[in-house]
Chain A
Amino acid sequence: MTLKAKIAALAAAALVAVSGAASAADWAPSGTLKLQIGFGAGGSTDTMGRVIAKVMKEQTGWNIIAENKPGGGGVAMFTGIANMPPKGNVIGMGVNMPVLINLVKRGDQLGFDLDSFDYLGTVGRAQLALIARADAPFNTLEEMIAYSKANDGVAIAFDAPPQKLLMEVVNRDSEADFRFVSTKGGAENIKLMLGGQVMAGFGAGTHVKYMEAGDLKMIASANDSRHAYAPEIATVREAGVNAYLDPFFYFAITKGTDPAAAEALGKALEAALATDEVAEVVRNAAQTDVENLGVDGTKAMMTDGLENVKVLFGG
């Protein structure tokens, strides 16, 4: 074989190798693909994540397992993902708010920043509402503030730091004097409201059934937009509070993953999210619709979200 032929053969081999790596359609995870869920078993993130993993497995034929990696609302799981070799065999599923707030409040202690990841997409936006007992003597946030001022502070049940931060903004701006009762989850918020120990609290979807039953009512949407099931209820921002919470369920992988792998994973997720099966579980578990922002949209959502959290919570 002449030198020329050798070079040509090498070039051809390299071309094959490169084109092979660059083609998302051919990429498949080497071994098991893990979907790590940043929360414990049985919650809404876990429920959705497990079904998404199952649908992806059926669609792609890859061996996919879902595993729970709880800790700090996803911080522990994403720390692990940021610091593992980018092989494209682990996808993280978490919620943006706890991650963003920890980045703002103690970013120097975290093992990652927003640039530690490649983003794949989102499942949807959690619908967070400020709710109250049906017999509470107020119907809007303005009335609730006035009532709280006049009556030794309304007690509000909350189960995650962003909810408390949001209402602290209200306290700062209007001296509403709200008191905060920390709980272990949305169900406990509802229990305390039904039991009459607190008058108001936060709900992330499960409260809708109680509104239908006439036990609870909605005071405001904590998101930046009104909720589809209660379009007449104003948002916290519309009520004059310069803050909102938009919790997104999102997927990310380690920065520097082979672009072909990232593309293949993103496509696989997109296909799974487009199924009726996933749409149904998202509706059931989080009372919301599938809303996949895609690769660029998710990154923008995280970057803008970080600025939002910084500005709004005075980090």
Chain B
Amino acid sequence: MVDLATILAGFGDAFTLWNLTFVLFGVVVGQFVGAVPGIGPVMAMAIAIPFTFGLDPLPAIAFLVGVNKGGLVGGAVPAVLMNTPGTPDAAATAMDGYPLAKAGKPLKATKMALFSSVTGDTFSDLVLITVSAPLAVLALRMGPVEVFALMVFAIAVLSGLVGNSLIKGIIAAALGLLCNFVGTDPENYTPRLIFGMWELYDGLPLASVAIGSLAISEILRRMAQSSHGTASAINLRDNGEPDARRVTWAEYWGCRFTILRGAVIGTVLGALPGIGSTAAAFMSYATAKSASKDPASFGKGNLHGIAAAESANSAVVGSNLIPLLTLGIPGSVGAALIISAFMIHGIQPGPLLFQEQGRLIYGLFGAMIMANFLNLWVGQLGLRFWVKVVSAPESVIFASALLLCITGVSMATGGLFGVAVMLVFAGLGYLMTSFGYPVVIFTIAFFLGPRFEISLSQSLALMNGEWSRLADYPIALILLVLAIFAAVWFLTRRTPSAGPLATSD
């Protein structure tokens, strides 16, 4: 379809100092806004897009790709160092990253996150560059009925994450689904549970719920526990051992299967529009835990846990571009913003993109590869900086983090209403944690809920409400059967004493 000359010309366009500068700038901005709680790369991209108008398309898109990829690496930083993830997929990283950081190895934990993130991202970029067309065809075959079955399967796999109490896990999940009903129903657009607040018409703002229940509630909890404000936010017991500050090759190599599995899960789920990185990160984590010889060590600082979560959620971002570049269909908000940037530059994404803009697309691929290397390099430097930052006194760290969360959420949701919602969910998250209900399960259910509901409604419309027609959808049937096996497998293998989400400590 695209000849070699175009491919080489595209890569040739990409590898210039000018583009490198924009990618580097993007990665630095992305890592920074990803690591600062509350703002996030999506917001940064939305703000940056109009300013790319004056640039040529390639540096403009290279910059945005840099922001997107840098944000992935940055997002793991607050999750690992402070247990305050800004998104649910980073919450998966926090489950083992934070215990390891708390045990005096913050650099080791963040480096493992960095290495697995870049590995997963590179893997999915290579898949995107080499075999995107057949994968896109596969993604098209996954219609609403198959996606619904996939969501059921994902939920079944996630049951492997339920901690000590199955009942409390189910209650948390049900609460997450209930919160997801706020807003209009997807079928007839009738407002539900909005209590006259039109701001809720499109549902509870995602950023408010995620940051409130995951990050702010944790900050509240730590503030409640802290008796005096001079202790460091993270205990840097530097015992002089270099091992605490680095990830050895043997350790990285030991995680190769975990990383590969995470990258495959992330790449496959990322190629399906609308599923997102939350499901990928947690499915990878749950399977890594159940495949481990020592599942009890998960949740206590196991490097495999960090590797599983980060490789999967980063792999999603590369393969999200598969449906975008081959079919013109964005798989996530980040991908939608890249479409927006394409459109500003007069490039209409669609099935003809490779034919009409082949050179630009290969230039984009070149920029993605540069961004991965720069991510590694900027990350190495940046992590030391962040570890220094969080070793400041708690009173300073938590106050600044709260301020940043409030600012970020009010920017992301367009006002103080989003901040109010965030505070409500911070209170809810605090109470749930205090009584031993897994907040992470609540948040996952909330994030998977909308796709679950709409694919159910779509499936019912397509099957005319007759369940017997399920027989026409063999892939969906296989997934549903697998879901039953997965639920039985995970629930019988549950090790109550080692539940990573038994957060009441």
Give A contacts to B, CB under 8 Å. Answer: 36, 40-44, 46-47, 50-51, 53-54, 66-72, 75-77, 79-80, 106, 109-111, 152-153, 155, 161, 164, 179-184, 187-188, 190-192, 194-198, 206, 208-210, 212-213, 215, 277, 280-281, 284-285
Give the residue of A71, A208, A215, A280 whose beta carbon is less than 8 angstroms from that of B201.
A71
Q: What is the minimal beta-carbon distance from B177 to any residue of chain A, in angstroms?
A: 18
Q: Is B142 an interface residue (CB 8 A)?
A: yes
Chain B residues with CB below 8 A from A284, complex form: 343-348
B50 near A179: Cβ-Cβ < 8 Å: no
Give the residue of A40, A79, A209 whose beta carbon is less than 8 angstroms from that of B328.
A209
Nearest opposing residue in chain A for B332, CB measure: A42
Chain A residues with CB below 8 A from B140, complex form: 191, 194-196
A-B pairs with beta carbons under 8 A, tally: 158
Q: What is the minimal beta-carbon distance from B416 to any residue of chain A, in angstroms?
A: 11
Q: Is B189 an interface residue (CB 8 A)?
A: yes
Give the residue of B200, B350, B352, B414 whose beta carbon is less than 8 angstroms from that of A68.
B414
Give the residue of A41, A77, A188 whose beta carbon is less than 8 angstroms from that of B274.
A188
A70 near B337: Cβ-Cβ < 8 Å: no
Q: Is B482 an interface residue (CB 8 A)?
A: no
Q: How far is the CA of A183 from the CA of B347 in the complex (A)?
A: 24
* Interface window among B71-79, B263-271, B298-306, B457-465: B457-465
Q: What is the minimal beta-carbon distance from B202 to any residue of chain A, in angstroms?
A: 5
Chain A residues with CB below 8 A from B186, complex form: 182, 184
**Given contact pairs A195-B141, A206-B350, A212-B352, A41 touches B333 in the complex (Cβ within 8 A):** yes
Q: How far is the CA of A182 from the CA of B453 in the complex (A)?
A: 11
Chain A residues with CB below 8 A from B464, complex form: 152-153, 179
Q: Is B196 an interface residue (CB 8 A)?
A: yes
Q: How far is the CA of A89 from the CA of B458 in the complex (A)?
A: 42
Q: Is B42 an interface residue (CB 8 A)?
A: yes
Chain B residues with CB below 8 A from A40, complex form: 202, 333
Q: How far is the CA of A44 from the CA of B330 in the complex (A)?
A: 13
B50 near A72: Cβ-Cβ < 8 Å: no
A47 near B198: Cβ-Cβ < 8 Å: no
A72 near B333: Cβ-Cβ < 8 Å: no
Q: How far is the CA of A41 from the CA of B50 in the complex (A)?
A: 12
B53 near A277: Cβ-Cβ < 8 Å: yes
B350 near A210: Cβ-Cβ < 8 Å: yes
A-B pairs, top 3 by smallest CB distance, nearest first, are: A209-B350, A72-B201, A197-B143
Chain A residues with CB below 8 A from B235, complex form: none
A190 near B328: Cβ-Cβ < 8 Å: yes
Give the residue of A109, A190, A277 whose beta carbon is less than 8 angstroms from that of B329.
A190
A215 near B202: Cβ-Cβ < 8 Å: no
Q: Can you list, as one digit per residue, whether each of B133-171 has a CB less than 8 Å from chain A (1) or not (0)?
A: 000000011111100000000000000000000000000
A46 near B330: Cβ-Cβ < 8 Å: no
**Given contact pairs A70-B202, A72-B184, A42 touches B414 in the complex (Cβ within 8 A):** no
Q: Is B454 an interface residue (CB 8 A)?
A: yes
Q: Is B340 an interface residue (CB 8 A)?
A: yes
A42 near B352: Cβ-Cβ < 8 Å: no
Q: Can you list, as one digit per residue, whether each of B445-469 has a CB less than 8 Å from chain A (1) or not (0)?
A: 0000010001001100110100000
Give the residue of B143, B329, B461 whose beta carbon is less than 8 angstroms from that of A180.
B461
**Given contact pairs A197-B143, A210-B350, A182 touches B201 in the complex (Cβ within 8 A):** no
Nearest opposing residue in chain B for A286, CB measure: B343
**Given contact pairs A206-B350, A213-B352, A47 touches B340 in the complex (Cβ within 8 A):** yes
Q: Is B496 an interface residue (CB 8 A)?
A: no
Q: What is the minimal beta-carbon distance from B272 to any residue of chain A, in angstroms?
A: 10
Known pairs A47-B343, A76-B199; list 8 more (Cβ under 8 Å).
Answer: A40-B202, A51-B53, A51-B344, A180-B461, A182-B457, A187-B273, A187-B330, A198-B462
Chain B residues with CB below 8 A from A184, complex form: 186, 274, 450, 454
Q: What is the minimal beta-carbon distance from B150 to any residue of chain A, in angstroms?
A: 14
Q: How far is the CA of A41 from the CA of B335 in the complex (A)?
A: 11
Q: Can you list, as one digit per residue, whether each of B118-131 has a CB less than 8 Å from chain A (1) or not (0)?
A: 00000000000000
A76 near B329: Cβ-Cβ < 8 Å: no
A183 near B454: Cβ-Cβ < 8 Å: yes
Chain A residues with CB below 8 A from B143, complex form: 192, 195-197
Chain B residues with CB below 8 A from A206, complex form: 328, 348-350
Q: Could you write out 20 A-B pairs with CB less than 8 Å apart?
A: A40-B333, A42-B330, A43-B336, A54-B50, A67-B414, A68-B46, A75-B201, A76-B198, A181-B144, A184-B186, A184-B274, A191-B323, A191-B329, A198-B462, A209-B328, A209-B350, A209-B351, A281-B343, A284-B347, A285-B340
Q: Is B241 an interface residue (CB 8 A)?
A: no
Give the residue of B53, B273, B333, B347 whose beta carbon is less than 8 angstroms from that of A54.
B53
> Would you list which residues of chain B between 18 and 74 have a CB under 8 Å from chain A?
42-43, 46, 49-51, 53
Give the residue of B145, B333, B346, B351 whose beta carbon is less than 8 angstroms from that of A42.
B333
Q: What is the minimal beta-carbon distance from B448 to any residue of chain A, in angstroms?
A: 14
B348 near A209: Cβ-Cβ < 8 Å: yes
A42 near B340: Cβ-Cβ < 8 Å: yes
Q: How far is the CA of A162 from the CA of B202 in the complex (A)?
A: 16
Nearest opposing residue in chain A for B43, CB measure: A41
Q: How far is the CA of A68 from the CA of B144 in the complex (A)?
A: 29
Q: Is B415 an interface residue (CB 8 A)?
A: yes
B458 near A182: Cβ-Cβ < 8 Å: yes
Chain B residues with CB below 8 A from A180, complex form: 187, 461
Chain B residues with CB below 8 A from A80, complex form: 415
Q: How far is the CA of A109 from the CA of B200 in the complex (A)?
A: 14
Nearest opposing residue in chain A for B184, CB measure: A72
Chain A residues with CB below 8 A from B350, complex form: 206, 209-210, 213
Residue among A40, A46, A80 with the most chain B CB within 10 A?
A40
B328 near A71: Cβ-Cβ < 8 Å: no
Q: How far is the CA of A28 from the CA of B1 in the complex (A)?
A: 55
Q: What is the minimal beta-carbon distance from A29 to any residue of chain B, in angstroms?
A: 18
Give the residue of B189, B343, B411 whose beta carbon is less than 8 angstroms from that of A285.
B343
Q: What is the minimal beta-carbon distance from A144 to any residue of chain B, in angstroms?
A: 17
